[in-house]
Chains A and B, each alone.
Chain A
Amino acid sequence: MRTSLIVFAKEVIDNFRDRRTLASALIMGPLFGPMLFAFVINLSIERSLDDIDRSLEVPVIGQEHAPNLMEYLRSHNIDIVAGPENREAAIQAVTVGDHDVVVIVPGTFGEQFAEATPARVELISDQANTQAERDARRVRSALHSYSQEVAGMRLVARGVSPAVLRPVNVDEVDVSTPSGRSAILLGMMSYFFIFALLMGGMYLAIDTTAGERERGSLEPLLSLPVTRDQLMLGKIAATCVFMAVSLLLSLCSFYFALKFMPLAQLGMTPNFGPPVIAATFLLLLPFILLGASLMTLVASFTKSYKEAQTWLSVVLVAPTLPILIVSILTLRPQLEFMFIPSLSQHLILVGMIKNEPVNLLHVAISVSSTLAIGAVLTWICARLYRREGLLG
């Protein structure tokens, strides 16, 4: 125990002085995730906010035939501009993408409107172009509501209630809570935490195995009157501490990053306050042991620092696999999933962000199965450390 503590203290100091380890543990892992995340979310939020607020320029051919309609569109934040010369030019312009949408009001519009026969308006758009189609949809719905409004007024003028136009009234009830809507987007947060956590320990895991061997400092260490198990435990403990610090920083940086994101404007209020941060940290603690022993195990099989780096980057990606599969299949949390490390933590974390009640049985299974796998891997590491082949 004393030996492990000495090794632990030395590894912490040694690696704390190593810029590469520090950069990956304290900067890369914790900041990379939130920054990427903030960037992506801000971009998508700004875009969707834009769409509602931005005034839309729509070229209209024959605006003089329907001044009231033009007035109505302008009041719906649609700017009317002069359109192409004729219908052919308009179709051409939409086809090549010069305009997203063009409206044509034929000369017969006024006449038909006055006679109360359906007045024809043409809307030219490319429905295969999603971006353009968003604008077309706005124009279409504005035209539709103008039509509804006029119909209502005509019915009132004839002494009929406009309600006859709506035999069925559909009321939609959305059960998703603001926290729940957040979960879809914020579900990927859990991977960033796991990534940061693994990044934090990656260079230690390499340094304490392949690195120590490559440097030639392993052999003198093993010739000291201490047991190899104690050495290995001290090294894994140091790796765990760096991982925990990295995770904690990552949680904090996410907390602040979320504050700067206009999530409320999208109707999302992620449940990610200090209590959830603390719970997430505790939930991921067992995963630290697993990650540390897994990385140490993989690194101790490799012959050199470089080779260890290559293999460990595979380990960095591995925890995404179960998360990815379950996300694609949109599976609900089930008891069996809680036996799978990384997936169980992801599902529980998503539940917490959604502000759902935490299933304590799920937490218990997640914690104990992750710990058990971590313990087995640590034991295998200890076995490997006793091998002669360790020296390469």
Chain B
Amino acid sequence: MISVSGIHKSFGKVRAVRGVSFEAPDGKITGLLGPNGAGKSTTLRVLYTVLRPDEGNATIDGCDVVTDSLAARRRIGALPHGAGLYPHLTARENIAYYAKLCGLDKDAMDERVESLIDLLEIGDFADRRTKGFSQGQRTKVAIARSLVHSPQNVILDEPSNGLDVMATRSLRDLILKLKDAGRCVLFSSHVMQEVAALCDDIVIIANGKVAIDDSADGIRNRTGCDDLEDAFVKAIEMVGPA
């Protein structure tokens, strides 16, 4: 369970996030939706502890991301935006490296890596060096890598970026599997349809603020728009300019 309360974050004069609050419960998929530059990535980066919020706080299963960041990181599997692999290592080695860093012993690691390779259908290219992998292959390995320690909370920053239809579909299946396993899944996207198809809860962010936080139906009702895309645009207009 991820809980965000009133976080602010500025980079110099740019106020990227201006008081974002929401909750992402276990066993549900929460979508962070917003136009480019809305503050989605910054919010997520605060959650996986690489950025410190200027104000407000966030907890992962009750662990504060600033004061107890190591414990928070133990409970998160994060896929940062544009996550890169080590090109000289094979897909399997890339995943195993993270497993070792998360403290898995040899047997547990082998088992875990093997099951992730199955889960993400990496088998065909698991023992090839990742240099020259397609975007879809890279994303799969990067997601597998972030799940090595079986985290309760999974944070994915624009995971479907650059994926083709087949890869997007298997990503969707994976996210649903994680939900069925009772995990808390939080992912960001700027594609309305994708979020509507998957998410139990949608948090629309614009100009660093939460415009609306509801289910897809709830958003339709509150904006009075039947079409989700219109609803999205209307919600953003509600926030107003920065």
Number of B residues contacting the other chain (C-beta, 8 Å)?
A: 34
Known: A14-B88, A217-B85, A225-B71. 11 other contacts (CB 8 A): A6-B97, A10-B86, A17-B89, A216-B80, A217-B84, A217-B86, A222-B50, A223-B48, A223-B76, A223-B78, A225-B149
Q: Is the CB of A216 within 8 A of B97?
A: no
Q: Is the CB of A219 within 8 A of B70?
A: no
Q: Is the CB of A10 within 8 A of B70?
A: no
B88 to chain A, nearest CB (A): 4
Q: Is the CB of A223 within 8 A of B86?
A: no
Collect the chain B residues with CB atoms within 8 Å of residue A217's CB: 83-86
Is B189 in the interface zone, CB < 8 Å from A? no
Number of A residues contacting the other chain (C-beta, 8 Å)?
A: 24
Is B100 in the interface zone, CB < 8 Å from A? yes
B50 to chain A, nearest CB (A): 5
Q: Is the CB of B79 within 8 A of A220?
A: yes
Q: Which residue on A lies nearest to B83, using beta carbons?
A: A220
Collect the chain A residues with CB atoms within 8 Å of residue B73's CB: 223-226
Question: B97-117, CB under 8 A of A: which get 1 and which 0?
Answer: 110111100000000000000
Q: Is the CB of A219 within 8 A of B86?
A: no
Q: Is the CB of B83 within 8 A of A219?
A: yes
A41 to B16, CA, bound (A): 63
Also in contact, A13 and B89, with CB within 8 A (given A220-B78, A225-B73): yes
A2 to B103, CA, bound (A): 9
User: What are 18 A-B pairs with beta-carbon distances under 8 A?
Assistant: A2-B103, A6-B97, A15-B88, A215-B85, A215-B86, A216-B82, A217-B83, A219-B80, A220-B98, A220-B142, A222-B49, A223-B49, A223-B80, A224-B73, A225-B71, A225-B74, A226-B70, A226-B102
A226 to B79, CA, bound (A): 16
Question: A350-392, CB under 8 A of B: which get 1 and which 0?
Answer: 0000000000000000000000000000000000000010010
Question: A212-237, CB under 8 A of B: which get 1 and which 0?
Answer: 00011101111111110000000000
Q: Which residue on A lies nearest to B76, using beta carbons?
A: A223
Q: Which residue on B lies nearest to A6, using beta carbons?
A: B100
- The one of A216, A224, A227 in contact with B84, judged by C-beta atoms closer than 8 angstroms, is A216
Collect the chain A residues with CB atoms within 8 Å of residue B79's CB: 220
Collect the chain B residues with CB atoms within 8 Å of residue A294's CB: none
Q: Is the CB of A219 within 8 A of B88?
A: no
Q: Which residue on A lies nearest to B79, using beta carbons?
A: A220
Q: Is the CB of B88 within 8 A of A17?
A: yes
Q: Which residue on B lies nearest to A388, using beta carbons?
A: B51
Is B43 in the interface zone, CB < 8 Å from A? no
Is A7 in the interface zone, CB < 8 Å from B? yes
Q: Is the CB of B101 within 8 A of A7?
A: yes
Question: A1-17, CB under 8 A of B: which get 1 and which 0?
Answer: 01100110010011101
A212 to chain B, nearest CB (A): 8
Q: Is the CB of A14 within 8 A of B89?
A: yes
Collect the chain A residues with CB atoms within 8 Å of residue B70's CB: 225-227
